[in-house]
């Protein structure tokens, strides 16, 4: 094989394209190269020359004498390494080939491994997707709450859309009420079971059978049972537990209980603010809540003034956690100051004691009125007081005397927005101040003026409700004793977003949260 000289310069950089049977090395001044074969491109001062060498067979390899050129005698001729250095030059393409082979092997093994793992995990992946679908279906949660009030028992069946990091969304509510309340069966507790079973049918008709076993069931009794002797109340609760134990819904020992008055107020506050959006973030401020039941009345709000917390009785301030947030509330329930209990007290009766043949004579009734009134399964004989001073003034004096120093005033309520429910709502409807279905707004002075008008009309023999004068007078005094001035505006609602504004929804949330904590 002939070697054609490449023009010599101080520095030569040789670039090689290497097919399988070719190799090359770089050469610098003072070095020589041995070429088996190759396409050599050298760049020198912008000029490029190419020398092509191809080994046709192993016998074409130059001998040691053929390649040993004297560079001192031929400065323009590239030097060729002696044969003992040719093995060194051979290592370079061999290493490159081995490296390339290893890379290909790694790529191939990685591909095979991934294919194997994909096939191996396909079944668990399907199972995981199946479980995910199941979780999606389980984002619908039901809850059942029995409201055992003083005048009746009500069932609320709620459907929720659960969200992991936020307050749940209410999907729907099913509601039914029956009369009388559980306290009416104090002397024959067994009879209360029929009404509870009737209401349970509503739950079973509403909730898919597949979800019965995961639907929490609870009953909370309010003022009606709080006012009963302890033994009688316990017997009624035991009968309710028997009904629950025979149902298909899960329950715990605390599923049936008498609700503390403060818890009732807090639960109603949760209901209202959940429906108004005040519990879904800080953008919507919370509102205060006023509830006037038959046996008790509640006031609950979130204090914005530290002075309110510092000056209030210690048991008026409560804290709790819900929907990943902590809340501090001013909340108190006044037992015995519900509308029916207050009415009895103003008339001169005593809660829980038989009326017998004794007449209750009151200036809050029309002078010529005689009749009977049934409260908590006790029948009272009533009679109006003979005309003297105007009915309103006489009745107002009786009410103020009955409520004197029984209510704590909170100054902060003057500046807060409040919603009022239950008998606040009903008596406003009786006066024609709000629409019966949609509710509305009014001022405390509307109750005051309404009481004066109704009492005056009653003196003239007008009016069909013998207790409306007394009830309105009591409501107007109660609100002012709680700290609401005559010009304070209140919002009245029976429903918000088509959901009853009772404590039941809030109590259901509270009960479900307790189950998750334990």
What are the catalytic residues? 264
Residue 135, token pair as written in the block: 């979780």
Residue 143, token pair as written in the block: 């809850």
Q: How many CA atoms lie within 13 A of 182 on its CB side?
A: 33
Q: By C-alpha distance, which of 482, 337, 357 is closest to 422?
A: 337
Backbone angles phi, psi at 15, to 5 degrees: -110, 135
What residues have CB less than 8 Å from 490, skipping those under 6 apart? 290, 418, 419, 420, 424, 441, 442, 443, 444, 479, 484
Binding residues for ATP: 294-298
Q: Which helix (H) or strand (E) element contains residue 239?
A: helix 230-245
CB 502 within 8 A of CB 220: no
What residues have CB less than 8 Å from 167, skipping those under 6 apart? 274, 279, 280, 323
Q: Which residues pair with 378 in a beta bridge?
A: 375
CB 259 within 8 A of CB 227: no
Q: Which helix (H) or strand (E) element contains residue 342?
A: helix 339-347
CB 473 within 8 A of CB 395: yes
């Amino acid at each position: 094989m002939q070697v054609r000289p490449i023009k010599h310069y101080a520095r030569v950089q040789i670039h090689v394209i290497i097919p399988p049977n070719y190799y090359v090395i770089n050469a610098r001044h003072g070095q020589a190269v041995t070429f088996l074969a190759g396409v050599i491109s050298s760049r020198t001062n912008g000029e490029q020359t190419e020398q092509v060498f191809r080994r046709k067979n192993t016998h074409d390899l130059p001998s040691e004498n053929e390649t040993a050129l004297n560079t001192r005698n031929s400065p323009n001729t590239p030097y060729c390494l002696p044969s003992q250095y040719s093995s060194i030059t051979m290592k370079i393409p061999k290493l490159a080939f081995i490296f390339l082979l290893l890379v290909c092997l790694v790529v191939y093994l990685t591909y095979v491994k991934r294919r194997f793992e994909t096939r191996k995990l396909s079944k668990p992946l399907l199972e995981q997707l199946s479980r995910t679908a199941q979780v999606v279906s389980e984002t619908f949660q039901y809850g059942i709450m029995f409201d055992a009030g003083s005048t009746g028992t009500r069932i609320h069946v709620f459907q929720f859309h659960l969200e992991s990091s936020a307050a749940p969304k209410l999907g729907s509510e099913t509601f039914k009420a029956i009369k009388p309340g559980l306290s009416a069966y104090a002397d024959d507790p067994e009879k209360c079971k029929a009404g509870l079973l009737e209401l349970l049918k509503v739950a079973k008709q509403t909730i898919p059978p597949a979800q019965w076993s995961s639907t929490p069931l609870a009953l909370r009794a309010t003022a009606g049972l709080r006012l009963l002797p302890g033994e009688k109340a316990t017997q009624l609760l035991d009968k309710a537990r028997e009904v629950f134990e025979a149902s298909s819904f899960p329950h715990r020992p605390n599923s049936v209980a008498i609700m503390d008055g403060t818890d009732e107020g807090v639960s109603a506050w949760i209901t209202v603010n959940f429906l108004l959006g005040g519990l879904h973030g800080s953008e919507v401020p919370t509102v205060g809540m006023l509830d006037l039941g038959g046996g008790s009345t509640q006031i609950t709000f979130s204090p914005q003034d530290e002075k309110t917390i510092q000056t209030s009785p210690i048991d008026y301030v409560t804290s709790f956690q819900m929907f990943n947030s902590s809340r501090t509330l001013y909340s108190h329930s006044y037992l015995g100051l519900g509308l029916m209990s207050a009415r009895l007290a103003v008339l001169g009766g005593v809660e829980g004691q038989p009326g017998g043949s004794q007449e209750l004579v009151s200036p809050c009734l029309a002078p010529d009125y005689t009749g009977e009134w049934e409260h908590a399964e006790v029948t009272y004989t009533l009679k109006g007081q003979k005309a003297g001073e105007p009915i309103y003034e006489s009745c107002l004096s009786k009410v103020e005397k009955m409520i004197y120093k029984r209510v704590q005033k909170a100054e902060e309520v003057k500046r807060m927005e409040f919603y009022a429910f239950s008998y606040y709502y009903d008596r406003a409807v009786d006066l024609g101040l709000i629409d019966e279905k949609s509710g509305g707004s009014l001022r405390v002075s509307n109750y005051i003026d309404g009481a004066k008008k109704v009492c005056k009309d009653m003196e003239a023999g007008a009016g069909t409700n013998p207790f409306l004068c007394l009830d309105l007078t009591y409501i107007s005094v109660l609100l002012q004793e709680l700290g609401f001035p005559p010009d304070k505006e209140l919002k009245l609602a029976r429903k918000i977003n088509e959901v009853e504004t009772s404590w039941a929804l809030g109590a259901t949330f509270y009960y479900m949260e307790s189950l998750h904590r334990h």
